[in-house]
Amino acid sequence: FACLAWSHSETQLLYVAEKSRPKPQPPCPWDVPGAAWPAAEDEDEEGKQFVYHEDWGEALSTRSVPVLCILDLQNLSLSVLEGVPEHLSPGQALWSPDDRGVVFVGWWHKPFRLGLNACSNRRSGIFYLDLASGCCELLSAEKGSVCSPRLSPDGQRLLYLEGAVGGPHRQCLRLCMVSWASRAPGTAVPPSQHSAPLAAFAGLYTEALPLRCWAADSQRAVLGTPQRSRTQLWSPTRVLSPGSSDGCWELLTLQWDLLVATCSAPHHPPSLVVAVLPPAGHELPLGWVPVEDTPTVPGVTWKTLTIQPPCSRQGLNAQDTQAFEALLLSPSDGTPPHPLVVCPHGECGDSGDTLAVLVAAQVMPMLAPGGPHAVFDARWRPSMAALCQLGFAVLLVNYRGSLGFGQASISSLLSRVGEQDVADTQLAVEQALHREPLDPHHLALLAGSHGAFIALHLLTREPERYQACALRSPVSNLPALLGTSDIPDWRYTSLGLPYSFERVPCAEEVATMLLRSPISQAAQVQTPVLLCVGARDRRVSPTQALELYRVLRARGVPARLLWYPEGGHALAGVETEADVFKNCAHWFLQHLGQ
């Protein structure tokens, strides 16, 4: 929801705040019969102290009713804007070109709120609120999911991202543009509906546009987006990041045609670079200049593996044989074959990255979605480099359904969760062991959220293959999440079932969910399992891990549960992340005999 925008006159500041509620009366301090605090000014608030108030879920538990506010520095006044429809929660606001109104994103919150963090499929719209008349006008599609409105420097065009409502929690997006004069929306870049060949543009998957993404000519914009297993800087006409060894480019800002970005790779912490954006039609090659360069980390090498599913039956569609990718990080020191840590992703951006926040210069989103639609791009991940320096090779698997490979790849996983993603991870491990100098007798699993769901399936299918497993915020019991997760819609969508707000599962659907759940086959697990959970996780209840822990202990399987009282789904924070990594690394060293 956050925004902080100066008016063009620089006399007013627009921001978003949480609407305050009346505070409950404190208990009477006097032990005198009949003594009490004075009566509440608003009698309607009596008896409402314990009324439940919805919030927006994981990482947004303190956000319920956002309001738009204006601080007027000339009149020294503060006001809450009226005119926002009651069924909307406003945010991401900016001033109109003439300062006579504001543009904002409004999220529908009726009949109830679903988790919003890392979910680009919630119904929302771009609205214009006229400050004089109080009239509120919808500028985007009637039923879409939008974010990141960005006004061009000349005030003539409004750019934003738009996706479909419902379906996958992350998806391929459209880049849309509104002509301010006519208020007519249009699509600047449509989504990529098909699987993307290696050299083709695979679509837009960024979670937000940079705050400053427009060129000075108001004709071009620049943004970063995953393209297969790399994140590239892109303009609607061409790729702007060079084809170097760096696998992740992120735009920080674009001002006066000066591009400021970071670039990193699995063996190279982020470097700060700048370039001048030439006139239209002359963008390549850009002359990137390092401002703050960082050396590569010794002892780490990496490569991208292309994994090709076998053609094993007749009547296959294109998605059944679509190639996917995995990133292999290997120690450059030591004697091969190396023990291998396998990481199927689950959380977006920081999957398996428990040390990212410890690096002061790191520019990395700490997101916490639950679900498979994410991607391991070839960025710097401190924890993965640390595992390499401990002597482990690391395999980061972008199974079919990952971002960056086309919308068709994302959709191919729906109804196949627990099957296609598990088989793809299994195939990636087999092909990596066949191609690379890796030790097939020393394998471990490291994953979080949906990645942990995949890892548990692997443990039940091949009980003797893996010698150790460390999981964060694991999904193990799908039907149990229906009443505990902030995204209950995903439990239906992932299995190809329709969802509506009034949905109540029937017995057959609950049975289907349970059959796809690793907990139903937990008796097959023999591998020592470390579980790390946050007590405040709103996306995947920590009781999922607790149930699994009890089953494993009852069957004599070595298991350890780490319970972080203040942790959420991402287990973020310096102390928490350091402790999680330390325990995971020690677990692998202990059980792999290193």
Q: Which of 255, 329, 244, 256 is nearest to 290 (CA)?
A: 244
Domain boundaries, the chain: 1-21+46-191, 205-295, 300-354+364-477+517-592
Return the pLDDT at 314: 53
Dump the DSSP string for 281-306: T---S---EEEE--PPPTTEEEEEEE
Handedness of CA 486, 488, 489, 491 (dihedral sign): positive
What does the block give as tokens for 537? 């996780």
Return the pLDDT at 241: 82
Residues whose CB falls within 8 Å of the CB of residue 532, separated by 6 or more in sequence, listed in order:
470, 471, 472, 473, 545, 562, 564, 571, 580, 583, 584
CA dihedral defined by 198, 204, 210, 211, rounded to 10 degrees?
Answer: 160
Return the pLDDT at 184: 74
**pLDDT tens digits, the chain, 594 residues: what are they?**
999 999 999 999 999 999 998 776 665 554 444 444 445 455 556 678 889 999 999 999 999 999 999 999 999 999 999 999 999 999 999 999 999 999 999 999 999 999 999 999 999 999 999 999 999 999 999 999 999 999 999 999 999 999 999 999 999 999 999 999 988 776 666 666 655 555 578 999 999 999 999 999 999 999 999 999 999 998 876 788 876 667 899 999 999 999 999 999 999 999 999 999 998 877 677 889 999 889 999 999 999 999 999 876 555 566 678 899 999 999 998 889 999 999 999 964 344 444 333 332 333 333 334 479 999 999 999 999 999 999 999 999 999 999 999 999 999 999 999 999 999 999 999 999 999 999 999 999 999 999 999 999 999 999 999 999 999 999 999 999 999 999 999 999 999 999 999 999 999 999 999 999 999 999 999 999 999 999 999 999 999 999 999 999 999 999 999 999 999 999 999 999 999 999 999 999 999 976
Host H or E run for residue 549: helix 543-554
Return the active site residues: 449, 537, 569
| Separation between Cα atoms, residue 329 and residue 268, nearest integer Å | 12
What does the block give as tokens for 122? 């919630």
Dump the DSSP string for 301-340: EEEEEEE-----SSS--GGGG--EEEEEEEESSS-SSEEE
The DSSP 8-state label assigned to residue 195 in this structure reads P
Return the pLDDT at 33: 47
Fold classification of 300-354+364-477+517-592 is Rossmann fold (3.40.50)
Contact in structure between 157 and 221 (CB atoms under 8 Å): no
Residues whose CB falls within 8 Å of the CB of residue 237, separated by 6 or more in sequence, listed in order:
220, 283
Q: How far is CA 530 from CA 186, 471, 519, in A?
A: 50, 6, 16
| Separation between Cα atoms, residue 540 and residue 392, nearest integer Å | 29
Return the pLDDT at 26: 60
**Is 2.120.10.30 the CATH number for 1-21+46-191?**
yes
Return the pLDDT at 245: 67
Q: How far is CA 227 from CA 235, 411, 579, in A?
A: 13, 17, 33
Contact in structure between 390 and 329 (CB atoms under 8 Å): no
What does the block give as tokens for 114? 């679903």
